[in-house]
């Protein structure tokens, strides 16, 4: 009897040891190393001049280099002040989107072949959004990409009121292919669906006027026009865009905005015959020299993904048909699946123009609690703007932090890159924050921001109505 008890005790001990080891391995596999020292060095060395993104053709694809929009700043502003302003603007954008969604749902009107394009971070132009360079007529324009907007627009001369931009303003008078759109055209009459306002008649001669208002008080007003769009050696005739005569706001130094939404006026819809309604991007980090790409067309052979592409369907919503909406099924932190009442009301929007991912309050609360449970032993720091979970990591060369994965219908997953988990507020790492935030209202629709999409190949297939994800370290190529 004693021998049997001893054997049972030994067996249970071995089982316990096995579970401890297994759990230890699992825990190790579900963490990522965040190197603070290397990142700080890269931030301090960010003194390069302005090199605009370029484009090229590879096989059947057009590749547009993409950078963070701040990449072309004339001078470096105070780091902390700049980041705070960026998050304030991001919060205003999200609030504006939620208001726009409510109005769309309620039915009330709102006033207001393949190619790869270089895509860049725009941090030095005082934004955390991304820029590419395109050709309109014979002029090059640097624009912010935005999957949450439809109308592409640039500042135009003569300009009644324009913000300061780097590089020349578009001059319709010097383009032999530019034409104004008339207010009695079908394009003008259908403007409300794409730009959120009804096309109005101008004074000379009956041009189609547009107006788009953004949540931070920024706006663009002008006339609709057509011209040749070009990038990477491909030219698209009769491209409809906004010629902004009265523009104000915090757009940085870019020429305007590229609308990658789903309405008929978006760049994707207008180039459907050329690129088949398919585009993808890999968003780089804000580090010096980091460069991603916007690829027009379905040429996966030019991707540099290191994991297989997994697709999830777009959730149909006739009232919000301009947005890309996915069905978020679960989130795990460090391999632990979160327990929350709901993972999204009517789906979650994936948006290149929103910076920080917003989750429903109960889901964010569960994520925050699990993250703090696993990332313990580090001193806390005050919250920063919309970010309420911050740490003082001064003196640490690197830290091990929990992974964050988002799962979608059809077993697609977004494995958030290490650069998309922490937001460095202070360069000495005395204030480093979890880079996710809560929605203010539980009934608002959740949004996946560009910060959590870094170093991922995100593929949008509007014909097949699906979005795909694959890991791609584009910041380091």
Report the alpha-carbon distance of residue 364 to residue 366 in Å, rounded: 5
Instruction: Compute how many other C-beta atoms are within 10 angstroms of the C-beta atom of residue 189.
Output: 12
Q: Is the dihedral of CA 29, 35, 36, 39 positive or negative?
A: negative
Report the alpha-carbon distance of residue 438 to residue 94 in Å, rounded: 11
Q: Give the active site residue among 150, 216, 351, 417.
A: 351
Q: Is the dihedral of CA 6, 9, 11, 13 positive or negative?
A: negative
Task: Please indicate whether residue 146 is annotated as part of the active site.
Answer: yes
- CA distances 219 to 112, 131, 148, 212, 215, Å, are 9, 19, 15, 6, 9
Task: Please indicate whether residue 461 is annotated as part of the active site.
Answer: no
Measure the N-to-C terminal CA separation of the chain; round to a whole number of Å. Answer: 66
Q: Give the active site residue among 146, 150, 216, 227.
A: 146
Q: Which of 384, 332, 327, 378 is nearest to 350 (CA)?
A: 327
Strand pairing class (208-213; 219-231): antiparallel
Longest dimension (CA), the chain: 104
Residues 6+ apart with CB under 8 A from 22: none
Residues 6+ apart with CB under 8 A from 25: none
Residues that are catalytic? 146, 351
């Amino acid at each position: 009897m004693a021998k049997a008890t001893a054997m049972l005790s030994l067996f249970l001990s071995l089982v316990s040891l096995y579970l401890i080891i297994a759990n230890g391995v699992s825990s190790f596999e579900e963490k990522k190393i965040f190197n603070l020292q290397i990142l700080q060095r890269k931030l301090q060395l960010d003194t390069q001049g302005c090199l605009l993104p370029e484009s090229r053709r590879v096989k059947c694809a057009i590749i547009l280099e993409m950078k963070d929009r701040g990449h072309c700043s004339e001078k470096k502003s105070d780091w902390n002040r700049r980041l705070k302003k960026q998050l304030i603007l991001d919060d205003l954008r999200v609030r504006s989107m939620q208001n726009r969604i409510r109005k769309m749902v309620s039915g009330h009107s709102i006033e207001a072949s393949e190619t790869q394009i270089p895509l860049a971070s725009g941090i030095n132009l005082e934004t955390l959004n991304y820029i590419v360079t395109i050709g309109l007529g014979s002029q090059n324009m640097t624009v912010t990409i935005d999957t949450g907007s439809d109308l592409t627009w640039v500042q135009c001369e003569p300009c009644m009121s324009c913000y300061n931009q780097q590089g020349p303003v578009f001059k319709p008078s010097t383009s032999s292919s530019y034409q104004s759109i008339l207010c009695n055209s079908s394009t003008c009459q259908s403007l409300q669906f794409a730009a959120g306002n009804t096309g109005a008649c101008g004074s000379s001669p009956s041009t189609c006027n547009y107006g788009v208002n953004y949540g931070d008080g920024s706006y663009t007003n002008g006339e609709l026009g057509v011209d040749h769009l070009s990038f990477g050696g491909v030219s698209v005739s009769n491209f409809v865009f906004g010629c902004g005569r009265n523009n104000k706001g915090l757009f940085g130094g870019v020429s305007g905005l590229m609308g990658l939404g789903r309405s008929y006026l978006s760049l994707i819809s207008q180039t459907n015959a050329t690129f088949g309604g398919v585009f993808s991007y890999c968003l780089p980090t804000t580090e010096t020299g980091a460069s991603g790409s916007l690829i027009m067309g379905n040429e996966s052979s030019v991707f540099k993904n290191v994991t297989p592409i997994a697709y999830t369907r777009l959730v149909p919503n006739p009232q919000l048909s301009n947005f890309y909406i996915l069905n978020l099924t679960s989130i795990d932190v460090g391999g632990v699946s979160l327990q929350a009442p709901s993972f999204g009301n009517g789906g979650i929007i994936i948006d290149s123009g929103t910076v920080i991912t917003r989750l429903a309050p109960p889901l964010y609360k569960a994520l925050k609690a699990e993250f703090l449970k696993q990332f313990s032993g580090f001193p806390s720091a005050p919250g920063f703007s919309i970010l309420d979970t911050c740490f003082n990591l001064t003196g640490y060369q690197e830290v091990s932090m929990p992974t964050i994965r988002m799962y979608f219908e059809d077993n697609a997953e977004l494995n958030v890159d290490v650069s998309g988990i922490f937001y460095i507020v202070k360069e000495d790492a005395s204030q480093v924050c979890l880079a996710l935030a809560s929605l203010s209202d539980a009934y608002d629709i959740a949004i996946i921001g560009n910060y959590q999409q870094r170093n991922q190949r995100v593929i949008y297939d509007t014909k097949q109505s699906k979005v795909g994800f694959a890991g791609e370290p584009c910041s380091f190529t």
